[in-house]
Amino acid sequence: MDRTAKRAVALATVLIGGAALTGCAPTGSDGDVVTLDFWGWGTGQKEQVAAFEAEHPDIRVRHTDAGGGDDSAAKLLTSSRAGNAPDVALVEYTTLPALVVAQVPRDVTELVTDIDDDFTEGTWAQTTFGGVVYGVPQDAAPMVMTYRTDVLAAAGQEVPTTWEEFADAARAVHEQDPDAVLASAPGGELALYAGVSAQAGAEWWSVEDGVWTIGIADERSLEVADFFEQLADEGVVDTGPLLSPEYNARVNDGSIAGWIAGIWAPSVLAGVAPDTSGNWAMAPVPQWTPGDTGVPFQGGSAMIVTENSDHPEEAAEFVRWMNASEGGSQSLIDDRLTYPASIVGQELAETGAPPSLMPDQADFWQVAADVSTDVVPVTWGPNVSLAKTVFTDELNAAISRGTPWRDAFVATQEAVVADMEKVGYQVRTSDR
Amino acid sequence: MTSTSTPSRAADGGALRPEVVHPVRTGRAPRPAGRRRVPVAPYLFVAPAVVLFVVFMLVPLLYTIWSSLRAYRIELGTSVLGVRVDRFVGFENYAAVFQDAELLASFGRLAVYGLIAVPLTLGLALLFALLLDVPAVRAKRFSRTAIFIPYAVPGVTAALLWGFMYLPLTSPFSYVTEALGWGPVPFLEGNGLFGSLANIAIWGGVGFNMIIIYTSLRGIPTDIYESARLDGASELQIALRIKVPLVVPALVLTGVFALIGTLQLYGEPNTLRPLTTDITQSWAPLMTIYRDAFLTDDLPSAAASSTVLALGTVLLSALVLGIANRKRSEAAS
């Protein structure tokens, strides 16, 4: 090989090497200071991190906004497979099982064993699978009804406490103003129907002795489908997508007068329609049986330490401080505007001012604390994301074709069972 | 620059002087003695391209094919949820792709969309190019820029912009029809969706295609037109009998581009998806691939469908080009 050929090889080596090198970023300790990578999303995280760093001079945290929801779970899976996941990540409860199966989060049972008393059992169960703890809950999202007090009053209705009363109130609101609906029941909201079905007693995923039971097409879930289908047929709930420009315009003009969702809903609505502040209030979600108090979760997230992390102890310290300490909880309330999952955080929240959407509702946090005392436990399965896409497509198709909504629940169950059987789980369906 | 003004360069010797190369070297002819050097310069010149091709095309391609033959399976161990392992499953993913009725249906939707979008885009592009090429037309530069500008609008921006014009509450068109008592235009519902999506592509694509056809038109020698005019041909006859046949190669090229663009439809339906319930997560094949790869974390399935889509695109493009070439050689003979 002559000189020029050697140079060509050298050039090629540099090109390939350069391409490979750009994929790596330095992480780890610099002297005695440990640097952690942290992926999250949403408001107030920079402030949270700053508050943590102020108390921990030997730990630096590099924060990245990974987008949130299903997208950030997918990013986390991919980066973990490539061996460069961040040390700490925020994940939604719904995506945690899929991440556990892919061995993204580390078993932190030993590292957080002393803080499990800081959470209620129902909350702690969201991050524990078969006795192994995979994360620490950050925010709790009990399902509530956020509604326009003026619209409900104009229709001459009291705040509904049962779904029966909710249906009547929705009809009255629609009769008062044919353009108005009391709430939305969109095809894309698996979590809404899963929560309301759980409240009715259905378990969409459950596992015992290694055998999974799927109850998406459980008789109680199907009755939930019938209930909302009936209201949609009458035109008293809206089925259009949430938070589209169309939806936002209707929230602003008051023709969408409520939202059944997690307790985070008021802060979302305040962002969409700040001018309507003061006309809203929050109430516990309606019940199927009068006198019941069980409330399901909708949404909410936990923080995990990854299997990839080189500094699990420092990462665990960060996770503990962010979610279970007094300072961290205060930051969750003030900067992140969420309802903390920890008991200390929920107590701190009670003394705070109500959200900007309902500045006059003095008992907002008291109501939140009350509904959080009787949480309906929900187990999510390893293929929630698949269920979400099938459910969304099937229910939207049923809505636009006018076919029974329960067919969408059945189709989702079939797809979920087929997928779980294909990958190797033992699965059966709930008989009731 | 002359050799006398740069004596030092000339003194350097042969560096600047081109080597004498035999223009034609027959296979048998022995190389001249003393010139046994392996020619490395050509290899050096192609090296960057080859390296980039291997690193960024060939390796990912082979990796995709390799992943498409694998699948994630659960091994139940100590954890109740089990642990996911990567296994070889042969052509199982491909079998699933070909049995996926929803994926086949999405190709059907693409066909409807393509039947609207491709002929209209090319037809309008040809029409505008021919109009701009008529000598009497004024404000050519302005018109050309005006027609081209939508192409400069990023696809997602264009889809959002049109999305607002389609939504009943924000649409100016629906505002007019509602004022007339006809109700909102169903832009984003049922079959209206095909027209609405195709419209975005046509709006964005006409300008680009027009420029290609127009450039091809400008390349035609003008004396052909002169002789046609002397023979008494009208501008319309010149356009239909002379210009159109001569820009057929450009039309074939833009047609193949449009076909590939149709098969790769993703941005517009995906951007409009949050605005309507009638666009499913698997409306177009690429949306299914995105869903499998990034939402349900089934990378092997996504790899299998990607391979099938890529092969299909190559075959279809080759078919179209083959037919066009045969037609042309038939016409020539």
Better pLDDT: A14 or A226: A226
Suggest the residue from B38, B161, B178, B277 to mutate for an interface test with chain A (most A CBs closer than 10 A). B277
Nearest chain B Cα distance for residue A96, angstroms: 11
Across residues B291-309, what is the average pLDDT?
92
Suggest the residue from A1, A2, A4, A384 to mutate for an interface test with chain B (most B CBs closer than 10 A). A4
Task: State whether A60 and A119 are in the same domain.
Answer: yes
Residue A48 lies in a domain: yes
User: Which residues lie below 8 Å from residue A193, measured CB to CB, with a gap of 6+?
Assistant: A221, A224, A225, A228, A391, A409
Q: In this predicted structure, what is the pLDDT of residue A29?
A: 47
Among the listed residues A117, A79, A74, A107, the one whose alpha carbon sits nearest the alpha carbon of residue A92? A74
Choose one of A287, A321, A340: the last residue of a domain. Answer: A340
Residue A330 lies in a domain: yes
Task: State whether A175 and A267 are in the same domain.
Answer: yes
Task: State whether A403 and A277 are in the same domain.
Answer: yes
Residue A164 lies in a domain: yes
Nearest chain A Cα distance for residue B316, angstroms: 30
Which range has the top average pLDDT, A150-159, A202-211, A369-378? Answer: A150-159
Choose one of A312, A340, A368: the last residue of a domain. Answer: A340
ipTM of the complex: 0.82
Task: State whether A170 and A310 are in the same domain.
Answer: no
Nearest by CB to residue B51, choosing from A16, A243, A392, is A16
Answer whether B112's CB lies under 8 Å from B196's CB.
no
- Which two structure tokens, joined as six digits, stand for B67? 């992943």
Task: State whether A262 and A124 are in the same domain.
Answer: no
Answer whether A187's CB lies under 8 Å from A244's CB.
no
Answer whether A394's CB lies under 8 Å from A403's CB.
no
Choose one of A340, A366, A395: the last residue of a domain. Answer: A340
CATH of the domain at A102: 3.40.190.10
Nearest chain B Cα distance for residue A273, angstroms: 16
Task: State whether A310 and A380 are in the same domain.
Answer: no
Residue A119 lies in a domain: yes
CB–CB contact A392 B281 (8 Å): yes
DSSP state of B146: H
Across residues A149-160, what is the average pLDDT?
96
Nearest by CB to residue A101, choosing from B82, B190, B280, is B82
B289 alpha-carbon distance from chain centroid = 18
Residue A381 lies in a domain: yes
- When pLDDT is cut at 50, 70 and 90, the band that residue A16 belongs to is very low
Q: Given CB atoms, is A421 within the 8 Å cutoff of chain B?
A: no
Among the listed residues A228, A281, A276, A231, the one whose alpha carbon sits nearest the alpha carbon of residue A249? A276
Nearest chain B Cα distance for residue A34, angstroms: 30
Q: How many domains does chain A have?
A: 2
CB–CB contact A424 B282 (8 Å): no
Q: Given CB atoms, is A234 within the 8 Å cutoff of chain B?
A: no
User: Tens digits of per-residue pLDDT, A74-86?
Assistant: 889 989 999 999 9
User: Tens digits of per-residue pLDDT, B94-144?
Assistant: 999 999 999 999 999 999 999 999 999 999 999 999 999 888 888 888 999
Residue A367 lies in a domain: no
Nearest by CB to residue B84, choosing from A102, A245, A250, is A102
Contacts of B70 in chain A (CB under 8 A): none
Among the listed residues A326, A330, A332, the one whose alpha carbon sits nearest the alpha carbon of residue A302? A332
Q: In this predicted structure, what is the pLDDT of residue A7?
A: 53
Mean pLDDT estimate for chain B: 87
Task: State whether A59 and A199 are in the same domain.
Answer: no
Residues 109..128 of A with a Cβ closer than 8 Å to B: which? none
Contacts of A385 in chain B (CB under 8 A): 295-297
CATH class of B92-332: mainly alpha
Instruction: Give the structural domain span for A98.
Output: 28-134+301-340
- When pLDDT is cut at 50, 70 and 90, the band that residue B9 belongs to is very low
Task: State whether A33 and A112 are in the same domain.
Answer: yes
Task: State whether A333 and A267 are in the same domain.
Answer: no
In chain B, domain spans: 42-88, 92-332
Task: State whether A244 and A158 are in the same domain.
Answer: yes
Long-range contacts of B300-304 (CB under 8 A, 24+ apart): B300/B67, B300/B68, B300/B69, B300/B70, B300/B71, B300/B72, B300/B89, B300/B93, B301/B71, B301/B93, B301/B96, B301/B97, B303/B64, B303/B65, B303/B67, B303/B68, B303/B93, B304/B68, B304/B93, B304/B94, B304/B96, B304/B97
What number of other Cβ atoms are within 10 A of residue A141's Cβ?
Answer: 24
Q: Given CB atoms, is B15 within the 8 Å cutoff of chain A?
A: no
Task: State whether A184 and A289 are in the same domain.
Answer: yes
Task: State whether A168 and A106 are in the same domain.
Answer: no
- Read off the pTM: 0.85
